[in-house]
Structure 1
C-alpha cells in the first residue's frame, strides 16, 4: 500500500470500527428491551388468564356442588355431574375435562374418542406427560399447568394453560384450559416490531457511516495528490539508486580483494616458499616457521576468495545466473550437512543484471537461513522460466516456522529483505511453512528482449 492509501485506511478503519461497535450495542440493547417488553406482556396476559380459569373452575364446582355433596357414593350422581360439566362451555374452544387418579379420561366434550381411555402415558410434542403433570399439579394444589394440546376448532397443536383441582372423595381431577395463541401472537408482534426498529436503525447508521466514509475517502484522495505522486516517484527512484550503488560497491570491493590483496598474498606465499627452500639445509626451525606462515597465508587467501565470492560471484558475470547458483549450491553442500538438489530449467539463458543479482541474493539468503535455523536435511532449488518472467522455488524439509514472524520487528530480517527485493522489481513473493516442509516461491518479470 502507498502512503496515501495507508493514511486513508487509518482514517476509515477507526470510523468503521466505531460504527460496528455502535451497531452491536444498539442491537443488543434493542433485543434486550424487546425481550423484556415481550415478557411483561406475556406475564400480564397469563396473569389475566389464570384469574379467568380459576373463575371458570369455581363456576363448574358450584354447578356440581349439590350432586357432589349429596351423592358421594351414588354412581347416578356422578354421571349427572359429568353430564352437567359436559354442557358447560365458554367460547368455541372453552370446555371442561375430567380424569380419574389413574389417568383415565371420564369426560371430554370436544374429543369424545378420548373418553374411557387410559391416557396416563400420553405425552405432548415436547415430551411432557401431560395427564400425569395435570394430576400432579392438582394433587399439589397449585393447579396451573402449561402443556401442548390439539385445539378442537382448528385441529392444530398449540400451547395451552390449564387449571385443575381434585374432587374428593370421588378421586376426580376436574379442569379447564385456555389456548395461548393470542399470547404467542402478542409476543411475536412485539419481537417483530423490535426487529423492524433494529433494521431501520441499522439502515440509518449504515447510511450515515457510508456518507462519512465517502467523505473521508474523497478528502484523502484530494489531499495533495500531485505532491504524493512526486514523493512516491522520488522514493522509488532513491530506492533504485540505493540498490544500484549497493551492488556497484560490492563489485568494486570484490575486484579490489581479488586483483589487489589476493595477488599480493599469493606473491608473499611464493616468497615464503622460496625462503623455506633456501633455509632448508641449514636452519630447520626457520623452515617450520615459514611452513606455518605459508599454511596460514593459504588459509587467508582462501578466506579472501570466499569473501570476494560472497560479495559478487565471478560466475554471475561470466557464465550467468544458473551456473552461479549451481556453484553456490555445491559450496553449501560441501561445507555443511545439507543435501542440495538444484534443478536448472533456464539452462544458459542470460538474464538482466538486476534480475540475476536479485535471484542470486535471494538463493544466498535462503540457503543461509536454512543452514542456520531449519535443521533440514535436504534442500530443493528449482529455477525455471514462466509466463513473462522467471520463477525460483526453494524448499526444505526442516522444522518449519510461523511465516507471520517476518511481519514482526524483532524477527525475519532476511525474509523481509527478500520480499522487498521482489516487490522492488515488481515481482511476486509467497511463503508457506509447516513442520517438515517450508517452501518459498519468487516470480520476477523479465523483458521479452
Structure 2
C-alpha cells in the first residue's frame, strides 16, 4: 500500500526527556518529597509537643498526688498512736496531735502539714500561726481543699508563699479527712511548675535538635542537587563534545570511503571501458588505412562499449545524487528504488509511505534514500529474504523509517568481518542529522531497522 499527502491522522511523537531532565527529575522529586516530609514532620512535632506537655503535666500531677498521698499516710501513721492512747481524753489527744504537726511533722526544706475543720477554721498552720482559730474560706484554696478532701478526687493547684524564700510560687495541695474529729489534714509540694518546665524544656530541646537535623538534611540535599546539576551539565557537555568528535571522525571516514569507492568505480569500470573503446577505434583506424572492411565491426563494438560506458556513468551519477530525488521528490525516488530492487532480486516489497510533498529538506530526503538503498543492498547480499516491509511516515515533528525482512537474520553482537560496515554507515548518516537509529535482529528471525529523523523544513525550521 502506498499513500501520500495529509499526515493529520498520525499520532504526534511523544516528547522524550533528555538525560539531564531525567536526572533533574530523579533528584528534584525526592527533594520535594523530603521537604514535604520535613513540613509534615514539623507540624507533627508541634502537635506532639502540645500533647507531650499535657502528658507531662498529667504524669507529674499523678506522680505528685501519689507522693502527697504517701506523705499523708506517714502523717496519719505518726498520729495513730496518739489517737489510740486510751489514757488521754479527746481534748488531750487533739492537743497532742496539733503539737506534733506544729513541732515535728516536717519534710524537706518547705514541707509541712496544716489542719482545718469542715467549716474552714484553721486549727494548725506551722508556717502561718496567725491563721489558727480563724475562718479562711475567703481564701479560694481553702474551699477547694475542703471539697477535694471530702471527694478524694485529685489535687488542688494554687500559688502560695514559699517559707524559705518568701516568694509566691506554684504549689499543689492534697488533703484528707481525719474521720473521728472531722478535721481536714493537708499538705503540699512546691516546684511542680518548675519540674514541668524543666521536663518540657528537655523535650523541646530534643524536638529542636530533630528539626535542626532535618533542616540540615534538607540543606544538604539542596547542595547535593546543585552539585549534581553542575556535574550532569559538565558531563553532558563532555559527552556531547566526544560524540560530536566521533561523528565528525565517522563523517570524514565515510567521505573517504565513498570517494575510494567512486575512484574504484572510475578505475575498474568506466576507465577500463573507455580504454576498450579507444582500443577498438584505433583498431578500426588501422583497418581502414589497410582497406580492411572489418573496420565496421570494430566501430560497432566500440559504439556498444561506449553505450555501456554511458550506462555506467549514469549509474555512478545516480548513486552520487539520484536525479529522480532532485526532480520528483522522495516518494517517487523510493518507488523507483523499490522497483529496481524487486526486478533485480525477485524479493517482494510491501511498502507504505505517508509523506507531505515539498516539506522535507534535501538533507532528510537524501538521508532516507541512502539508508533505504544501503538496507536493500544488505538484504540482497546477506539476508536470503523473500519479503520486505518498508514504511516511511511523516509525523508533525519527525520522519519515521521502518524496514524489516523475513531473512535469516544474524546476531548483531557477532558480526562477520566486513558485514557491519553498511550498518555503521546507516547509523552514522542518521546520527549526523540528529536522528536515532535502532537495529533488531536475531538468527532465523529476520532483521528490522528503525530510524527517527527530526524534520528539517525547507525554511530551516526544526
Give the structure-2-normalised TM-score.
0.39
RCO (CA 8 Å, sep 6+): is it higher in 1 or 2?
Answer: 2
Structure number with greater Rg is 2
